[in-house]
Amino acid sequence: MWSSLAPEVSFSQTASVETAQAENDQAKTNEKSEDDQWTPPGSVWELDWQDEFEGTGEVEKWYPMLGYNSEAYKASTEKGLRWSGKTEDSAWMYSSQTGNHWLDGDGNLVLRIVSDKTKSNEHGDKVSAAYLMSGYPQKWDKSEPNGVKWAGKFVSPKEAPLYISCRVRTDQVQGYSTWFAFWLFSQTRAYNDNPADGTEVDIIEIPKGEKNYLKTAFTAANHWKQGGGGSESKQFNALSEPKSLDLVDVSDSDYHTYGLEWSTEQMKCYVDGKLYYTFDDNIPSDPVDMMMLLTLEFKINAWDPNQGDGRVDGPCVSDDEKMREMSRAYVDYVRIYRKKK
């Protein structure tokens, strides 16, 4: 993937060797993914749904967040999100129809988050994000919450326990105040104080910030209360026990597999086949419209104060006079296994 994205260079013997080595490394990691059929012990699992992200161009099973109703969704190419309101003029970040997510031809979905120096709002340079969901607003329906019916792929452990996994490389998730997440969310029923039917479950969140401990931090969470802050979450960082690096180095260039084993009684979080956290209470046992999301997001101080502004401070993927790419992630696959009866 590197060779196709690198700027044009005159080929020397050294460059050819480095390119060949990079391709060998890539072949090795992709080969590993085909053999990677690990599932949690104690049960027999069958593959229920998958996206291996083969090919090039647009994804077929994922939808950018462009609006909360079908008309707005169809009319939009980009939309402001979350933190500062929903209008294009006030948001800190945007989900775009194209440009920040693509299939790279090497079996990966690429996500990036960029700062556009040619456009700005009251917060500074405009940020556009990768914010993909496995569901989308299909049509107006007054019998549904917020008057919209969602379609797409939804997940629930009600009929049988699930194991949901994602293999991702996050060494280029590095810009201050940016974070990658693979998570579950009900767009219309989250934070209704009822964990059974509506909630946010963060299978993996990887924040990057100026403070040292954030560089290798990751979190798992189950949020169901209004505002989300009072729900259960756990961060693994240099100060936690176990330390984050005892489990996984999210800053290395390897792919790592994050998975959630989910029954109506329990949620177990795994990384590379190691159990690192278990939720026992307030499990979403019969969720409605709960979809999967793959996102790169940005907000100054979203996790802790004084993180720096990834648009102007700290490491980045690339930077020129027009655009700064703050972070990038490579997703090898998303798979859902169902417990065999």
Where do contacts with Ca ion occur on this chain (CB under 5 A)?
52-53, 107, 332-333
Report the distance separating Cα 183 and Cα 334, nearest Å.
11
Least distance in angstroms from the C-beta of 340 to Ca ion = 24
54 or 193, CB closer to Ca ion? 54
52 or 232, CB closer to Ca ion? 52
Report the distance separating Cα 150 and Cα 186, nearest Å.
10
Least distance in angstroms from the C-beta of 50 to Ca ion = 9
51 or 289, CB closer to Ca ion? 51
52 or 125, CB closer to Ca ion? 52
Least distance in angstroms from the C-beta of 94 to Ca ion = 27
Residue 238 neighbours by CB under 8 Å, 6+ apart? 212, 213, 216, 217, 244, 245
- One DSSP character per residue, 183-197 reads EEEETTTTTSS-TTT
Least distance in angstroms from the C-beta of 55 to Ca ion = 10
User: Residues 113, 296: contact at Cβ < 8 Å?
Assistant: yes
User: Residues 255, 27: contact at Cβ < 8 Å?
Assistant: no
Q: Which residues pair with 270 in a beta bridge?
A: 259, 275
Report the distance separating Cα 200 and Cα 206, nearest Å.
16
Task: Output the CA angle 176-108-216, nearest 5 degrees.
Answer: 30
Least distance in angstroms from the C-beta of 292 to Ca ion = 16
- 3 state DSSP class of 236: strand
53 or 276, CB closer to Ca ion? 53
Tokens of 92: 């800190």
Least distance in angstroms from the C-beta of 74 to Ca ion = 30
163 or 224, CB closer to Ca ion? 163
The residue with its CB nearest to Ca ion is: 107
